[in-house]
Every structure is written in C-alpha cells, then in structure tokens.
Amino acid sequence: MNYRGGRRTQKTNQMIIAPERSSSKDDASKLIGKKVEWTTPSGKKINGEISRIHGGKGYIIARFEKGLPGQSLGTEVDITD
C-alpha cells in the first residue's frame, strides 16, 4: 500500500501491506514472521519479513532488506512461510 512513515519522514524499507486473506487483528497476527518477496519489473527479487500488525483492519508492516522504489507502491507482494 504505502511506506511506513511519520509526519516528516518515510521509511522506504518498511511497507504497510493489506493482505487479501486478512481482515482483522487476529488474522494479521498469524502472518507475523512470514517472508515477503517483491519482484521488480526487471525480475530482481527484494526479500523482507512481516514484523508486526498495523491498525485494526488487518494490515501488516513488512521490513525489507533494502529500500523499495516508488514503483513498488500499489503492487502485489508474495507472502511465503
């Protein structure tokens, strides 16, 4: 969905993600610790891990090994075990 950020900052290595199968805090808490992978248009893969839940609607925060580019906003990621 978007970068995690504050009023004057944004953390480009942390993303707020809205999983399809998660609609509450309980569903999101089951995803903590799973691996996340975003594929660039050129085919390169950037790996991350789900670190915590965000809010009450089932959103999660994933930390990636390096910052994600702006073209990753609004695209899909793969969640694996």
Q: What is the pTM of this model?
A: 0.84
pLDDT above 70 as % of the chain:
100
Q: Are strands 2-5 and 10-17 parallel, antiparallel or unpaired?
A: antiparallel
Q: Out of 1-10, 28-37, 38-47, which region has the weakest mean confidence (pLDDT)?
A: 1-10
Choice between 20 and 61, residue whose per-residue pLDDT is larger:
61
Whichever domain contains 61, its CATH number is 2.40.10.190
- Which residue is associated with the tokens 């975003």? 38
Count structural domains, the chain: 1
| Structural domain boundaries enclosing 72 | 2-80
For the segment 71-79, the average pLDDT, to the nearest whole number, is: 89
